[in-house]
Amino acid sequence: MPTANRNPEIRKDAVNNRWVILSSARSRRPSDFKSKSQSKTDSNSTSNAQPQCPFCAGNEHQCAPEIFRVPEDSTSDWKVRVIENLYPALSRQPEVKSDHEEYCQANGTAGEVSLGGFGFHDVIIESPVHSVHLPDLSPAGVAVVLLAYKKRIEQLCAVDSISFVQVFKNHGASAGASMSHSHSQILALPVVPTTASTRLDSMKEYHNQTGRCSLCDIHTDNFLIDESTHFISIAPFASTFPFEIWIVPRHHSSHYHELDEDKAIDLGGLLKLTLLKLSLQLNDPPYNFMIHTSPLQVTSSQSPYTHWYIQIVPQLSTIGGFEMGTGCYINPVFPEDAAKILREVEVP
């Protein structure tokens, strides 16, 4: 990967309050392990009929119950299905109890907390056809998936004890995927996870100092990749990973589910373009994307500084003990170099 030879830098972003080490020297180190299989073996078979895949059209009966499909009309063919996860991380039973709730109380262990694992864990099947991946869809086709996320989040908002909803996608085994059929997941939690509360604090601090929203202010100079009517894509100033990309709404918006149909098609086009560029430039890498939205119960005093965005991360290397220990990542590719490369990728 041709990137400029720069001095190492330690950067912190204004959104997540996270340090990162940028060091191009790191990209030159050799490895005496066999190089790890990239996403060809990873993102698997491209044949159409997969009799054993429960996510394929025709195998609906092998899946956990459906929540809804698009279009809703059950007589026509579906484009997208939202179903329960058959092996859920959390239980849909509000009365699920932790053996340790009592234990923690009895032992008065300050700091340690145990809650019953109540929550929702759903799967979004993005296409009825095994070989069709998200960027293979048209902008309007991607929008159908994006609007299914929105609809499901709105349903989850209605559940009293749900505080946070995480939408994410794993593509390829090295990105954690256990299923190769194109899909994403939604987890709804009764707590606000650390990353989201840290982001809230960090964006608040920026707002206190400047009176502005850190994501409305995000600078694009050398970091811009592409833009559409309502969104921009950038390589963030303090990128945690090589070729990390953020897609940010131009106009201030706290929650992903404020997305309307027009914007969904516009976003569908930019997301498709971005995934195609990653695939062309990095040889179809495994990747994750995460929708970073605000906690559901954001107050009116918080809304001026909360702003949702999508983070896309191609999985190009394995992290080690330094990152696990410190939460500070070593990134060998400067984001201004990644942005330049991705700006120039030509999509046929």
Ligand X SMILES: Nc1ncnc2c1ncn2[C@@H]1O[C@H](COP(=O)(O)OP(=O)(O)O[C@H]2O[C@H](CO)[C@@H](O)[C@H](O)[C@H]2O)[C@@H](O)[C@H]1O
Residues designated catalytic: 183
Q: Which of residues 1-30 bind a copy of itself (CB under 8 A)?
A: 6-15, 17-19, 21-23, 25-26, 28-30
Closest approach of ligand X to the CB of residue 19, in Å:
13
Q: Which of residues 54-83 bind a copy of itself (CB under 8 A)?
A: none
Distances (CA, A) of 32 to 35, 36, 180: 9, 11, 30
Tell me, what DSSP letter sits at residue 94?
A: T
Tokens of 246: 């953020």
Strand partners, 289: 169, 312
Region binding a copy of itself by CB under 8 A among candidate stretches 71-79, 193-201, 260-268, 277-285: 193-201
Region binding a copy of itself by CB under 8 A among candidate stretches 32-40, 145-153, 248-256, 262-270: 32-40
Tokens of 324: 């696990």
Region binding ligand X by CB under 6 A among candidate stretches 5-13, 149-157, 290-298, 316-324: 316-324
Q: 3-state class of 129 per DSSP?
A: coil
Residue 283 contact among a copy of itself, ligand X, none, beta carbon within 5 to 8 Å by kind: none
Distances (CA, A) of 132 to 66, 137, 290: 21, 7, 20
Q: Which of residues 201-220 bind a copy of itself (CB under 8 A)?
A: 202, 205-206, 209-210, 214, 217, 219
Confirm if 160 and 93 have CB atoms less than 8 A apart.
Answer: no
Name which of 195, 185, 178 is nearest 286 in CA terms.
Answer: 178
**Distance separating alpha carbons of residues 79 and 116, to the nearest angstrom:** 35
175 binds a copy of itself (CB under 8 A): yes
Residue found under tokens 């794993």: 170
Determine which residue in the list 150, 169, 257, 263 makes contact with a copy of itself, applying CB under 8 A.
169
106 binds a copy of itself (CB under 8 A): no
44 binds a copy of itself (CB under 8 A): yes
279 binds a copy of itself (CB under 8 A): no
Residue found under tokens 């833009």: 227
Residue 280 contact among a copy of itself, ligand X, none, beta carbon within 5 to 8 Å by kind: none
Distances (CA, A) of 95 to 112, 254, 348: 21, 31, 53
Can you list the alpha helix ranges (DSSP code H) found in 173-290?
A: 194-210, 261-282
Mark 1-30 with x for binding to ligand X (rule: CB under 6 A) and - for no binding.
----------------------------x-
326 binds a copy of itself (CB under 8 A): yes
Mark 118-147 with x for binding to ligand X (rule: CB under 6 A) and - for no binding.
-----x------------------------
Q: Which helix (H) or strand (E) holds 101?
A: helix 99-107
Q: 3-state class of 100 per DSSP?
A: helix
Distances (CA, A) of 152 to 51, 188, 227: 28, 10, 27
195 binds a copy of itself (CB under 8 A): yes
65 binds ligand X (CB under 6 A): no
Determine which residue in the list 139, 323, 340, 345 makes contact with ligand X, applying CB under 6 A.
323
Closest approach of a copy of itself to the CB of residue 136, in Å:
19
Q: Which residue is nearest to ligand X (CB)?
A: 320
Tokens of 84: 């329960």
For a copy of itself (CB under 8 A), the number of binding residues is 105
